[in-house]
Structure 1
Amino acid sequence: MAITRYAALLRGINVGGNKKVPMAQLRSLVEGLGHQDVTTYLQSGNVTFAAEGGDEDSLASAVGRGIADTFGFPVDVLVRDHAYLAAVRDACPFPAAELEGKQLHVTYLSQAPDPDRYAAIDLPAYAPEDFRLGDRVVYLYAPDGLGRSKLAEQLGRPAVQKGLIATSRNWNTVVKLVELTRPES
């Protein structure tokens, strides 16, 4: 059976002292699920691993259950394979090479974004900030960074994200996850 490289994207851990998940314990947990070559990136919930078989949803469920059992709280988890992560990077509608990593963000979604959810956002009111929908992602250009972005606040409203798992990464992390999940040659 073929080995596939994945990234598990955890939502909302290690933010403001809440939902603390030490990276060494997260690596051990994912290894305990039978996965290989497990690495973590930053403290914000990125873990890469190699697995034989399985689909993204079942892998995400297993990691989520493991976190709940180990740490005592639920965490939303998305799992994406290398090919998908590379396609998201390559499809970026903004000039990523010309921007700082903090100016460009990708929000990974559990399903394809419904354009109707975003139709009420008055995009010109947020200029020069901008966003575009992609394959289970929202790309956000925020020239002053995510923390100051008024458009990010609109994109994160419950009415827009209802029923979705959504977790954001800056462009530097997007690129690094592609690198960390690259199959060995």
Structure 2
Amino acid sequence: MVTYLSLLRGINVSGKRIIKMDALKQLYEKLKFKNVHTYVQSGNVIFSANKEDTKQLAQKISVQIEKEFGFDVPVIVLTSTNLKAIIDHNLLAKDKSKNAEFLHVTFLGDVPETFDKDAILKVKHPTEAIEITSSAVYLYCPNGYGKTKLNNTFLEKNLKVPATTRNWKTVNELLKLLTRGSLDKSQS
């Protein structure tokens, strides 16, 4: 068994596409996943499953959500190794002049093939910072994520890949929980 993290895009935001965490947990259990735990109301689920391709797991979860709830929800699945690498590569977090409270990570469902970086940088506020990699976009939004034009929808459209964004505190907490889940598995 491997412990995974799934990130669901766009549920329980602005009163749309509501999925209660209990119902989401039950859905994962119907898929025969073990040790299912949710974290906050925005679609973060840690679970254990037989070793499987993360894209196949994401597809399986997304299909089941559409069956049960009637709407399409993009899902990104990561292992603890994937998540740790994304955290470790965040150069903005290593910049001591940046307040971690304003850091965000946009997780990418696929590697962006071609995109116009200048078009993305054109909407960036002068106080903001952005770093784009093959698996994540790192954002620093000192005026608040709710005010940036570099939001999830904009990045998805311009990078042409599914994506979902979490704040830096949540990302680090998810790694702790995911690693703890992995440790629990090795001890049982």
Q: Please give the TM-score of this superposition, normalised by the length of structure 2.
A: 0.87
Instruction: Map 1:35-50 onto structure 2 (within 5 A).
Output: 35-50=33-48
**Percent pairwise identity:** 36
How far the C-alpha of 1:32 sits from its partner, in A, is 1.3
- SS of the aligned residue for 1:95 comes to helix
The letter of the residue matching 1:112 is V
Contact 2:108 2:164 in 1 (8 A): yes
The letter of the residue matching 1:70 is E
- SS of the aligned residue for 2:85 comes to helix
Unaligned residue ranges in structure 2 (runs of 5+) = none
Q: Partners of 1:157 and 1:51 in 2: how far apart?
A: 30
Give the 3 Å change call, closer, same or farther, for CA 52–127 of structure 1 in structure 2.
same
The letter of the residue matching 2:164 is T
Give the 3 Å change call, closer, same or farther, for CA 57–105 of structure 1 in structure 2.
same
Contact 1:102 1:145 in 2 (8 A): no
Q: Deviations over 1:53-112 (max 9, x none)?
A: 111111011111111111111111111111000111111111358555540111111112
Q: Deviations over 1:94-145 (max 9, x none)?
A: 1358555540111111112346432333469622201001231100111122
Contact 1:113 1:137 in 2 (8 A): no
Partner residue, 1:179: 176
Partner residue, 2:19: 21
The letter of the residue matching 1:38 is V
Instruction: Tell me the matched-pair count.
Output: 181
- SS of the aligned residue for 1:108 comes to strand
Instruction: Map 1:106-185 onto structure 2 (within 5 A).
Output: 106-114=105-113, 116-122=115-121, 126-150=125-149, 152-153=150-151, 156=154, 159-162=157-160, 164-182=161-179, 183-184=182-183
Unaligned residue ranges in structure 1 (runs of 5+) = none
Partner residue, 1:93: 91
Give the 3 Å change call, closer, same or farther, for CA 149–74 of structure 1 in structure 2.
same
Give the 3 Å change call, closer, same or farther, for CA 117–110 of structure 1 in structure 2.
farther
Give the 3 Å change call, closer, same or farther, for CA 56–138 of structure 1 in structure 2.
same
